[in-house]
Amino acid sequence: MEVCRAWIRSLMVCAEAEGVALRSEDSLGLRKILLASSWDAMVLELREQEQGPDTDAANVDTVLMAEG
């Protein structure tokens, strides 16, 4: 998810640097994606603090690493 946020930020910065004005709806859409992904990350972090790490996600990572 962090990679996606970084990619979107770099897209916005590059457009501004090149003097390309993003249409307001494009810019707003990208900003909404950044905010939503930031919100999702914050909610997951709070959930982990309250409940501990998500063991299902950890198990999936372990299985994928073992299969890979």
The per-residue pLDDT for range 39-53, each reduced to its tens digit, is 666 666 777 777 765
* The dihedral formed by the CA atoms of 42, 32, 14 and 22, expressed in degrees to the nearest 10: -170
pTM of the model: 0.32
pLDDT for position 5: 72
Domain containing residue 53: 2-67
Residues 6+ apart with CB under 8 A from 45: none
Tokens of 23: 């249409």
| Average confidence (pLDDT) over 6-23 | 71
Total of domains in the chain: 1
Q: Where residue 9 falls among pLDDT bands split at 50, 70, 90? A: confident
